[in-house]
Structure formats: structure tokens, C-alpha cells
Chain A
Amino acid sequence: MYDMNRVENAVSQGDIKISANDVQVYYGDKHAIKDVSVDILDKTVTAFIGPSGCGKSTFLRCINRMNDTIPIARIEGRIALDGEDIYDRRVDPVQLRAKVGMVFQKPNPFPKSIYDNVAYGPRIHGMTRNRADLDQIVEKALRGAALWNEVKDRLHEPGTGLSGGQQQRLCIARAVATEPEVLLMDEPCSALDPIATSQVEELIDQLREKYSVVIVTHSMQQAARVSQKTAFFHLGHLVEYGDTDDIFTKPQDSRTEAYISGRIG
């Protein structure tokens, strides 16, 4: 399976979707992200790994400007999406977040019906003209999140009534329905059991066909399973970034080696 991935990588590599240059993040006095520069590719799953508190989630939240909602957070440096600086003053974070979707650690379906959860994004962005269009988008998103068969008969029941794994796939469907270009996932499986985890991982692998997916994970096995590129963060630094195979088989930095062999973290 890995070899297949590598072949596809070879095809798509070169399209840089997001490029970050010298990004610094401060939370009040705390320097949380230091000099991070990285190029994230289109139609690729990129995994951010590293010990707790290393800044991987913080950096992920910079990519769709979710850190703007934290008053004490301050960001320096440049992050560009398709070559355009997302921290430029003319960029509206609201529009940016429509292009860069996010799935959170804990499944957070809205207390609405399954249908309304998925239809939320298309509705607020005025993506449809009539109900039939909306029905179609909802069905497509739910199929895309591999949830359609399980919920097609109870679309109008509350989304909070689903199981944990289904809720997380519902949240992925909700993000996909907005037709983003990039999908950010902040430890999407950490609240799920192994079966639900494998379903979501399978889904992530399919999402790669259309989106650039960035996933933060605590599990190195998960990073190895789902990603083609891996970035290792340590104490706010991006220590090493490269093909997942290389990071896990022949890491260049001693800290990376120590982490993947379980000596730190």
C-alpha cells in the first residue's frame, strides 16, 4: 500500500498548497511556535507529530486563523494559501475558514438534526438556491464521509444521538459540505475507539483525492498509516519534515529518532 502511495505522491508533488515562512506564535509571553517554515502539498495527507505541548495544534490553528479567537495569541511571519498571505489585512478570516475547513479533537456536532448539521455550511455561505440542491450536497457530503448508509433513514434525528465515531464522521461531512480546499484535523481520533478510528483513517485516505489534509496526531502509528508527509515538532520548533517513510525509517535529527523510538515524548 505504501508503494502505491509513493507513486501517487510522485504525481502530485510540486503543487504547494500552503507555505509557511518563519512563523512565530506567542501566547502572551509564551513563545509557542518558533521559526516554523514548511510547505504543505496539495492532495496529500501531512501529519504533524510531536510530544504534548510541542505546538503542533497551535500551528494547525494558524492555518485557518482559529487563533484569532484567542485574544492573547499573536502571530508573526507569513503563511500563504495558493501564494496569497492569509494574514494580509484584506483577508477576511471568515472567508478563509470556508476554504480551510477544520475537524476538532472532540466530535462537536451542533445540537441540530444530522441534516441540519451538514447543511449548516452550505446554508451560511449561500451555496444553494433550492432545497433539492441542498439535499444533494448533504447526501454527497455524507457519502464522502462514509456515513450515508448508516444515517440515510434518520437524517432528521439529532446529530448528538450518534455514536462517537459516527459523530466525528458527521463533523467531517459537515466540513466537507462547505467544499473546502484544505482540511485541518486536530487529533480527530483521540476520542474514538479503535474501530471508529480505523473508519476515520480510511476516510482520511479517501479525502486525499480531493483535498490537502493536515492531521495532528499523537499516535505515530496513525501518522505512518495515513500520511505521506510528516512534520515532527518539538518545543515549538519544526525539527524535521519529509516523506513519512523517511521520517520513520531514517530520521535525520537525533530528536526525531528519540521520539519515534519512544525515548522522549
Chain B
Amino acid sequence: MPLSWALFASFLLAIAGYLVGRSRAFSAAGPDIRKLHSRPTYHGFLVGLAAFLPAVVVIAIASLLRMSGVIMAEAGPVVGLVALAAAVVGLGWGITRIGVDFHARNTVERIVLGILIFCSLIAIATTAGIVLSLLFETGKFFQIYDWKTFFFGTEWTPRFQGNSQLGILPLLWGTLYISLIALIVSVPIGLFAAIYMSEYASKRVRGIAKPAIEILAGIPTIVYGLFALVTVGPMLRDYFAQPMGWGNSGSSVLTAGLVMGIMLIPFVSSLSDDIINAVPQSLRDGALGLGSTPSETIRKVVLPAALPGVVGAVLLAASRAIGETMIVVLGAGASARMDLNPFEAMTTITVKIVSQLTGDSDFNSPETLVAFALGLTLFVITLVLNVVALYIVRKYREQYE
């Protein structure tokens, strides 16, 4: 019996268990339902869980064993039968427990609590797993490649034959340069849009404009990339770069930065909007009551009060910009370069991770393994940004509670 069928069968068994458990509880109670410690549905749930959980546990353990090679894939039918047997035993156990004094509610609540804890553990364990796998591969990389060349090298020229120059600095430079441009575009526009939305716009305008801005947030980044490739890139080249003699490249840092900035506008504006709205109305009243104009109120009272939160929003936006890939591939190109000219093609860490892992190199060559070192570096950068941002945002929240 395949495992999915076993799972499905035990689920049906659980539903049947629920119905049986409930009706058994009703009949155990007799005419006075209040004699039951727990309501009949709890008895039903308990019987259902008693049938379903053992089957799930059996299947999960079997899958883990198979992954680590202790049992073979051919053992599937046996495992299915064992799981089903576990479900039947659990069902039987559940039904025998039903009685007037059985604390089914407390037991069900304990089991549910256990499930909740388990789910949170999965989220945490996954993060740890990702970090560990990065660390492991990065360790292998640094065994065969000098870390000083990696962190301080200004050349990025991977070769198939080996003997590559794998310096992170040109990629880091491209990443920071593009992110900086993206922030220069998105922070003022997003912030001013948020100020208009929260302080000036009438309810009706806000009702239309806010969702309209947030539609921008729903566009997949690859679509922004196309926009960069076919519209913004050529436009910047034909109207700015070429006439001014700054270069002939269709893909440039500025293209990617601009488009990424547009992508971040709704992100910055909706976060700042929430933060500005969280500034108590009493502060606005206080400022207006002293004879400030609305704009003085915003500049001198509302924004300073919201500033820590806005800084947090900007840092979150920055960590998104740093991790963005598609817009860079299509907008800024893939040549690793350290240059100040914003009309020049450059590239970022994320783009190079993709191209190193999709190449034909041997997996254990430094040319491939460098992707993990790049990934870990990126992870650390964004982690630091996120931690700082969350710290600032939290500190700001405490101020008004």
C-alpha cells in the first residue's frame, strides 16, 4: 500500500473516529449532558487525533529512516500497513477512554498545544538548516580558496579551467551601488506618498490611491526586469548616456537602481504609512492647537515622532534591495566591475550566485562553491540589517505603549 493511501485511509479512520467518539460520549452521558466532564465534540476530536497522529508519526519516522538509508524504498507497503495498524490501535485506545469523568478537553488542548509548538520549531529548524548548509559548503570553499583573496580581491574572473580570481569586492560594490540608487529613488517618493496618504488625502482619495500604489507591490520582479530591459535601459542610454558621452551600455547600474526603486516604493510607503498613522492624533492636535500649520505639524512633530519607525522601514527596504536578483540580471547586466559611472553595466552578489551555480563546472570546484560563500556573506549582511531594523522599530513601538 503506498504511503499516501495509508495516510488517506487513516484520515478517513480519524473522521470516523470523531463521529463514533462523539456519539459514544453522548450515550455515555445519558439524559443529563452536564454529567460529562468534557463536551462530546472534545471526545470526538480526541478519538480522531488518537487515530491520525500515530499514523503520521509512523510515516514521518519511516521517511526519515529512508532518507538516511536505514530502510529501502521498497519498504513502502510495509510502512503503510504499520501506519494503518497504528491508526487502528490509536482509534481503539481513544474509544475505550470515553467516559463521564474522562478529561478529553484538557487532553485535546495539550495535543493542540504540542502541534503549535512543533510548527514553530519547524520554522526555526529550517532557518538553522539553511544556515548550516551554507556554512558547510562555505567551509569547503575556504579550504581550497584563500579567504583573503575572496574578501579583499578586486577581480572577479571565474574560469572553467580553474585558477580563477574570485574577489567579492566588485560584486559587493555593484550590490551596494544599485541598492543605494534604489533607496534614493524609493525612500523620498515612498515617504512623501505616505505623508500625503496619511495626513492630507481625503478618505475617498485614500481609498482609491492606497490600493493603487499597493498593486505595484504585487507585480513579480521579473516583470519589473522586463520593464528595465526594454524601456528604462534603452531610454537612459539614448537620452542620457550616449549624448553626454558616458557610455553605450543598454544595461546599467542606474537602470536597475531606478526600476528597483520603483519596486520598493509601495514597500516604503505602506510601512511608513502605518508608522505615521500610529503617531497619536493627540500630538497633531497639540501642535495645531499651538498654531502650527499642517506642514509644520508634520515636519516638527509627526515625522520626528515617526522617525525611528521610518528608519526601520528604510532598512527593511534596503535588505530587500540587496537581495533582489531578477531586476539586476535584466537591468544591470552580468559583468563584475568596480566603477563610479552609473551608466556602466555592473552586477551584484545574487546574480553571480545564480550564474556560478548554473554553470558547467564541477560541483566541488571553487568556481561553484564560491556561490555559497557569496550567499553566506549576503545572508549576514541582510541579517544584520534586519536585526537593526527590528530593534529600531520595536524601540519606537514602546514609546507609545
Contacts and interface: CB of A to CB of B under 8 A. Distances in A.
Interface of A: 64, 66, 69, 71, 94-99, 101-104, 106, 108-112, 120-121, 124-125, 160, 171, 174-175, 178
Q: Which one of B290, B301, B399 has the greatest number of beta carbons of chain A within 10 Å?
A: B290
Contact of B290 (A69, A111, A120, A160): A120
B280 interface: yes
A96 B284 CA distance: 17
Given A124-B296, A124-B300, A108 B286 contact: yes
Contacts of A66: 285, 288-289
Contact of A111 (B203, B285, B305): B305
A102 B288 CA distance: 9
Contacts of B300: 120, 124
A104 B290 contact: no
A49 to B, nearest CB: 22
A97 B289 contact: yes
Interface of B: 202-203, 280, 282-293, 296, 300-301, 304-305, 399
B399 A108 contact: no
B289 to A, nearest CB: 4
Contacts of B289: 64, 66, 97, 101-104, 175
B204 to A, nearest CB: 10
B304 A111 contact: yes
29 contacts: A64-B289, A66-B285, A69-B284, A69-B285, A71-B202, A97-B291, A98-B291, A101-B289, A102-B285, A102-B290, A103-B289, A104-B285, A104-B289, A108-B282, A109-B286, A110-B283, A110-B304, A111-B305, A111-B399, A120-B287, A120-B301, A121-B290, A121-B291, A124-B292, A124-B296, A124-B300, A171-B286, A174-B286, A175-B289
A110 B282 contact: no
A95 B88 CA distance: 81
B305 to A, nearest CB: 5
A97 B282 contact: no
8 A-B pairs with least C-beta separation? A98-B291, A102-B289, A108-B282, A97-B291, A108-B286, A121-B290, A111-B305, A94-B293
